Structure 1
Amino acid sequence: MTNTIVQDDPARRRFEILIDGTLAGVADYELRDGTLVFTHTEVGADFQDKGVGSALARGALDQLRQRGERIVAECAFIAAYVQRHPQYQDLIAG
């Protein structure tokens, strides 16, 4: 992965990961009562098994931490990522 960018697209309610300008994956979310709820994460077929999902999760969670936001991980991938990386446990709401 040469040039990797994780960005929030609030209009589409998702975080996106771009690799060399190509959309490689998304983490969809909803806003509920001021909390960001991850609902689904998907990585494109050409980018699977290359750490793209983890890079997306890490980038999104780091941005949310900087913004002072809390999350709910309804998405199984995000929930598992937070479980494996305890440094993000403090972002979980409730």
Structure 2
Amino acid sequence: MSTLVEDNPAEHRFEILVDDALAGFAAYEPRGEVLVFTRTEVDPKFQNMGVGAALVRGTLDQLRERGATLVPRCSFVSAFIDRHPEYADLVEVEA
């Protein structure tokens, strides 16, 4: 199974492709260099296969490369960061 995570700025979401099929996405609202993640969805046929975790990990790695930060309003993204504290430095504290 090959996966690819890529930003789709026109749709305001990071998408994960599994064997060239759209398997899920993490939607965001851009606020300058900060992305506010609002929801994550994984196609039911790809659930329980680690696709959601791969999507969030790939998204966070790309944000780190860009020097961007995020606000995890989506419970899935927030829970992933809680389980993987190496990404906690990417979280922007909301005022």
TM-score for both structures, normalised by structure 2: 0.95
Q: Which runs of 4+ in 1 moved over 2 A?
A: none
2:13 equivalent to 1:14: yes
Give the C-alpha shift of residue 34 in structure 1. 3.3
Aligned residue number for residue 63 of structure 1: 62
Post-superposition CA distance 1:19-50 (Å, at most 9, x none): 00000000000012431000000000100011
RMSD: 0.7
Unpaired stretches in structure 1, ≥5 consecutive residues: none
Aligned length: 93
TM-score for both structures, normalised by structure 1: 0.96
Give, as a single letter, the amino acid of the residue that structure 2 aligns with 1:25. Answer: G
Percent identity over the alignment? 55
Post-superposition CA distance 1:66-91 (Å, at most 9, x none): 00001000000000000000000000
Aligned residue number for residue 87 of structure 1: 86
Give the C-alpha shift of residue 3 in structure 1. 1.3
